[in-house]
Each structure stands twice: as structure tokens, then as C-alpha cells.
Structure 1
Amino acid sequence: MKSGKILVVDIEATCWEGRNPPGQENDIIEVGVCLLDVDTGEISANRGILVIPERSQISKFCTQLTSITPGLIEDEGIYFDDACDILEREYDAVNRVWASYGDYDRNQFQRQCSETRLAYPFGPSHINVKTMFAQKRRMKHSVGMASALEMLKLPLEGTHHRGVDDAKNIAKILRWVLNN
């Protein structure tokens, strides 16, 4: 296991106001990643991997939430299996401890890999930053990422609900958790 750097991941997926419409499955449409150096606190290799949804369409609600449009995906998106390959090849995800804010990202990746019969790209060591932050602050209930940043007096950089930006913001919270 590589201990020096933690892979921080934040995904965005197709979503709708209320229940999923018939025939529409939640698909990952962005994988935001960065590396947090445990020793130095440096955040590097920040990237957003846009993913073509194969089992659903991007709704107007989803675009309003994430700012990801169908046109952006058409221009820059890759298939989910190719995104998983990038995580394995360029980020060595299977051999690294990885982190996300809550369990949604881990559960969605597991579900989508299982449903599409793809190998899960991550190793078994996952850090739930949301839970760790709440424990570290001795809070009765966990809070969202934006609230956690606010409590730490750290700016929310970029666009909230964009994986590329949220991964970096989560890394800042994790850095605080590990150093306090």
C-alpha cells in the first residue's frame, strides 16, 4: 500500500428532481480526483474526468446542480470503462488508500461497476472524510462539504458539485483532519 499519498475522489452522477424516471439509472458523469500528500499536505494531480452516461440522460436538474451539460459530455466525455482505466493506470487506485466525502461515491462506483460488469478500480482501503470530520469535531451529526469548509474557515474553491473542484475541497478537509 502506498502510504505517502491518498487519492481523493468526488463523483457527479446523473440525477433528477425526485425519483429516477423509468428506464434511467444513475450514471457517473464526472470523476474528480486529486492526490493529497500525507507528509507535506500538498494537493496535486487535480483532474476532472468527464464520463459519457450509458444508461441515462443528463436532466436539466442535473445540469443546474453540476453545471455539466450534455454538450460538454459530447465534447470531452469518455466511457466509464476508460475512466476506470485512468484511475488504475494513472492514479494506481487499486494500490492506494482513497477517500471521499461520505459513502455515496464508494457505493455508486461499486454499484455501477457491478451493473456494468467492470472491475472495481479501487483497493479496499477507503476513508470516509465526512464521518472523520464529524468525529474529529466531536459533532453529533455530520455536515455537508460546504459546511465543513465554512466551519474550518476555508474557501470553497471552484464550482460546488463539480467533481474536479470538490475533490480538491475534500482534500483540504482531509488535510485538516489528519493534522489536528
Structure 2
Amino acid sequence: MNAKYKVRLDRVLSVDFEMTCWDGEPPHGQVPEIIQIGISEIDNETMTRLRSESWYIRNELSEVSPYCTALTGITPSILRRRGIALSEAGRIIAKKYGSRNKGWLAWGSDKAAVDSDCAAKNVQPIFSNAFFNVGLLYSMVASDGRSVGLDEAAERFGISFEGRPHDAGADADVLAEVWCALGGLMRLPSARPEPSNLPSP
């Protein structure tokens, strides 16, 4: 992370990506690339979700397969009409959400995918290096010896999905709720001194 960006500790971004995908290996000359970004901002002090947003990202390096459309609901037509360039999305997200000076969360190792896509398109990194794989954290603290999906973790906390499965905005919101639930379980007693009710001497 660039030294000029100091990471805030009071806010964190829950992030999800949808990417081009295929039923098997990518066709020759094509690579997975981001076609939707969802963000939900969290107040880490109160463990509450503050605001959410999502963007469709225009594909440049690959086609949206029928398999991808069936999985995500994203069609080539949607991306032509509503998609924006990854570089434009990066500028919006950095300006509106301060993404380069906040920690961010994903359910899985999404940082490598977004870094790769940004490098391929010569786009400045959108997010800070303060990345947390909540899926790995959850699977480790759940202590059942296997990887757990976001849907299962949400169900365990009594959190319901709103919106279509594999929608980046909906998944970012659910991830934010899971993070808040985890934070409630792991929160340490405050180190701040409690205000005294005794009169001053």
C-alpha cells in the first residue's frame, strides 16, 4: 500500500466480486475478469452496516458465457447498457468510500483476483493492502475442520439473504452482517476508561 494512505480502524468495507466464469476451463485467450463489484461499509465501533452500493463492470478481456449468466444473472446486454470501466469504478469507489485507506473484507482470497484484473487493465489498485479473508477466519474459529461457505455461515447466525444469489451487492451485504455478528462474539472489553460518576474533589 502506498505510504501516503493511512488505514482507518473505525470503518471497514465488505466487498464482493462477480467474475466471468465458465463450466470448466476458460476458452482459449479468455481470462476471468470482474463484471460486478458490491460494497457495504461497516462502522467497526458500533458493528453496524452504514451504506451499500454495487456497480456492473464492462468486460474487456472475455465474454459472458451462458453458464455465467445462469449463475449470476448478468447478461452481455446488462454490461453493454449499464457497465462502466474498471478504472472508472475504481475512481468512484476510492472517492466515495475512501477504499485506499480502509481495511476491506471478502469471503475468500479475492484480493489476488482484483489485483490481477487491475494489473491487466493498467488500473491503479482500488483497495488497500489491509485485506481480511473472513471465510478463512470463520472456518478457523468454527473449528470443524472444513471450509464453510458464506451462505452456511449466515444461516448459523440467523442472517437471511436478500436478493439474488451470486449478486455482488447482496453478497457484500450478507458478508457485512456476518462480520458484525463475528465482531460481537470476538469483541474485547474496551481499553478506554469508563467515565466516573463521582463528583470532582
TM-score by length of 2: 0.85
Give the counterpart of 1:77 among 76, 83, 93: 83
Give the counterpart of 2:155 among 126, 146, 150: 150
Larger CA Rg, structure 1 vs 2: 2
1:82 offset after TM fit, Å?
0.6
What's the CA shift string for 1:110-158, capped at 9, x where partnerless?
1111222221111111111101112232231121111111222221221
Cross-structure match for 1:118: 123
Distance in structure 2 (CA, Å) of the matches to 1:44 and 1:68:
26
Cross-structure match for 2:25: 19
Distance in structure 1 (CA, Å) of the matches to 2:12 and 2:147:
22
Is 1:28 the counterpart of 2:34? The answer is: yes
The 4+ residue runs of structure 1 with deviation greater than 6 A are none
1:73 offset after TM fit, Å?
1.2
The answer to whether the 8 A contact 2:47-2:183 is kept is no
| Aligned partner of residue 33 in structure 1, secondary structure | strand
What's the CA shift string for 1:11-41, capped at 9, x where partnerless?
0001010000011111100000010111222
The answer to whether the 8 A contact 1:6-1:98 is kept is yes
1:74 offset after TM fit, Å?
1.5
Cross-structure match for 2:178: 173
TM-score by length of 1: 0.95
| Aligned partner of residue 159 in structure 1, secondary structure | coil
For the aligned residues, what is the CA RMSD? Answer: 1.1
The answer to whether the 8 A contact 1:149-1:173 is kept is yes
Structure 1 stretch 148-157 or stretch 23-32: which is displaced more?
A: 148-157
Distance in structure 2 (CA, Å) of the matches to 1:132 and 1:172:
15
* AA partner of residue 105 (structure 2): A
* AA partner of residue 106 (structure 1): K
Distance in structure 2 (CA, Å) of the matches to 1:118 and 1:70:
22
* AA partner of residue 33 (structure 1): I
Distance in structure 2 (CA, Å) of the matches to 1:7 and 1:147:
21
Please, which runs of 5 or more residues in structure 2 have no aligned partner?
Answer: 1-6, 186-201
